[in-house]
Amino acid sequence: MLFPLLVACLFFALPLSSAGPSNVTIDDSNTSVTFSGNWAQTLPGYDKSFNGTYKTAKTDPSAYAEFKFAGTAVYFISPRWPFPVSTRLTLDPGSPDARPLVLSLEDYKTRTVDPNFSLAMVLAGATGLENKEHTVRVDGGDNATYALFDAFIYTTLDSSDAPSAPTPTSSSAPAFTAYPTPFPLPEALEAATPSPTPMEVSAAKKPLNLAVIFAPLCSVMAVVFILGGVYLYRYEQKVRSPVASEARASSPDVEEKEIGLPTTPIYQLQLNLQK
């Protein structure tokens, strides 16, 4: 009985699933973002920015916003406008290989034909990053009209997945790249609410680790069964010992007597009877 149970416990104790990458959002209201200079909180007009607000810095050319993250990818989220709006995105601005991207947020063409025109969408991203701490800077730059911060998504890995992350060389250091066709946010992101800390939005992508649930339970059950078996074994031995002793004490000793065999041959006995 105990052996199959122990085998089952060992099976459930194995890691049945490993958590994969997860996405974390950084909104303009997140306290992990450092805003330097003159930034203004802007409420949405006709557009639908992420979580309903975004920040801009137009009158201060030295204004910038920065945040740090540890992960392998980062994406910029913003609505589009039917007039000239642009901002500059820089990944790891302190690196000699940093390549800033001046991103245009203007879109005249799809305003009347694209139902997602005014929605906050993923407009640019940097992927294939080394799994370490990175810095994202948003500013106006020399050619940008705004420093605009709506939201970012970054992809983080669990420690078990970290070795699979690429390690780019300095000649191919990743940078922000504009997407020719913006793509919508997942429904979980659209329903998200502002949070003072980074907010995980892809918890559904993490498979449930059954080992965390069943391993302790099976361990406790195994210990209970083992202790129960030991107790029952000792109890049976304790009960049997007095009974056996009492049975031996109450039984009289039987003398073993030898039965004498006849010394006269059988055929002589028959002759004597006939006489």
Q: Where are the domains of the chain?
A: 1-17+208-240, 19-206
Rounded Cα distance between 98 and 93, Å, is: 6
Q: In whole angstroms, what is the distance from residue 234 CA to residue 105 CA?
A: 80
Please indicate whether residue 90 or residue 14 has the higher confidence score (pLDDT): 90
- Across the range 104-113, mean pLDDT stands at 75
Whole-angstrom Cα distance, residue 62 to residue 17?
A: 48
Of residues 226 and 124, more confidence is placed in: 124
* Residue range 266-271: mean pLDDT, rounded: 53
Question: Using one digit for the tens of pLDDT, what is the confidence trace for 20-44?
Answer: 688 999 999 999 999 999 999 877 6
What six digits make up the tokens of 26?
Answer: 């950084």
Q: Any idea what DSSP says for residue 160?
A: T
**pLDDT over 70 (residue 157):** yes
What residues contact 264, with CB distance under 8 A and at least 6 apart? none
Buried/exposed 53-75: b ≥16 CB within 10 Å, e otherwise: bbbbbbeeeebbbbbebebbbbb
Place of tokens 């030295």: 62
Listed range (2-16, 87-101, 131-145) with the worst mean pLDDT: 2-16
Q: Which of 247, 81, 61 shows the shortest CA–CA distance to 140?
A: 61
Whether the pLDDT of residue 187 is over 70: the answer is no
Distances (CA, A) of 81 to 58, 106, 107, 245: 16, 5, 6, 99
Residues above pLDDT 70, as percent of the chain: 56
Q: What is the mean pLDDT of the chain?
A: 72
Supply the pTM of this predicted model. 0.61
How confident is the model at residue 213, as a pLDDT? 56
Handedness of CA 89, 94, 96, 97 (dihedral sign): negative
pLDDT at 14: 45
SS3 116: coil
pLDDT of 215 reads 65
Q: Name residues whose C-beta falls within 8 Å of residue 59's C-beta, 6 or more positions apart in sequence.
A: 38
| CATH fold for domain 19-206 | Jelly Rolls (2.60.120)
CA-only gyration radius of the chain, Å: 41
- 158 vs 251: CA distance, rounded Å: 75
Using the predicted structure, report yes or no on whether residue 240 has a pLDDT greater than 70.
no
Distances (CA, A) of 161 to 25, 67, 133, 141: 20, 23, 16, 36
Query: What's the CA gap between 182 and 116, in Å, rounded?
Result: 9
pLDDT range class, residue 170, cuts 50, 70, 90? very low
Instruction: Give the H/E segment covering residue 189.
Output: helix 187-190
Tokens of 210: 């059954």
- 42, 83 Cβ separation under 8 angstroms: no
